[in-house]
Every structure is written in structure tokens, then in C-alpha cells.
Amino acid sequence: MKLPSIAAPLSLVLAFALVVAACEHADLLVAAPPSPTLSSLQSTIFDVSCALSGCHVGPSPTGDLDLSEGESWANLVNVPSVGVPGLVRVEMGNPDSSYIILKLLGSPRIVGPQMPLGREPLPDSDILAISEWIEAGAENN
């Protein structure tokens, strides 16, 4: 008497196990969003909410802070804030001590109003993106 082969059922069980394992870890296959860069912050936040006429742009920007393209990095990174000179606008690697984050959050440690002035506060996702850029080293990228 010939015994039935177990190769076919075994291969189905193994295939099913692989599919289940892949499904359980499918979230690992999704690429993480790219880290924020100065260029991405410039086009999505600074140009839209900050570097506007009468604000942080032009020959006499508010708070002596020009956030226009090509000027923002030099006006932010390791530059003392006007409101609280003991703090810098962007302290590389340290968003919690960066004055820009304190201003955007409306911290009690700031001088003057929360930014952007006269408008709705920036969404948390925008502030988080700026914080992530600072924490990653605030590169001029």
C-alpha cells in the first residue's frame, strides 16, 4: 500500500505561515517619512506663514529676522534672539531651548506675542517638523 505524500500539504502550511508572518510585519515595510530639511520647511512653512510682507522678510524684517529663502538659516541658527538674548533662535540639536519653538508654542518664556502674529498658531505637525529639523542638527539643507 502506498502512503500519501505530505509534501504538498506541508508546502501549503509553510506558504500560509509566510503570508501570516508578512501581514503581521507589513507596517515594517512602509517607509518612514523623510526627515524635515530646511528646504522643505522653507517652502511649506516659512514662505507660507512667516516670510510675508510686513513680517519676517525684506530690508527691515520684524525682530531683525529675515525668513526668506536663502536668508533663513543665517538668521536662525546660533543667532541670539532679540526678545531673550540668553536664548538663541535655533540651538542646533536642542529644540526645547530654541527660541523659535518657544515663540511658536507661545511659551511664557518669550517676550511679545506667539507667532505667527495675528494668525492662527501653526499646526502641531509644522512645529514638530521644525523641532525635528533642529534636533537633527539644523543643517542648511
Q: Where in the chain are the domains?
A: 38-135
Summarize the confidence of residues 76-87 as an average pLDDT.
95
H/E element, 22: helix 7-24
Per-residue pLDDT reduced to its tens digit, 28-73: 567 777 899 999 999 999 999 999 999 999 999 999 999 999 999 9
Cα separation, 105 vs 99, in Å, equals 10
Cβ-based neighbours of 61, under 8 Å, separated by 6 or more: 55, 67
Look over the chain and give the mean of its residue pLDDT values, rounded to a whole number.
86
pLDDT at 21 over 80: no
Read off the pLDDT band of 86 (50, 70, 90).
very high
Cα separation, 53 vs 44, in Å, equals 17
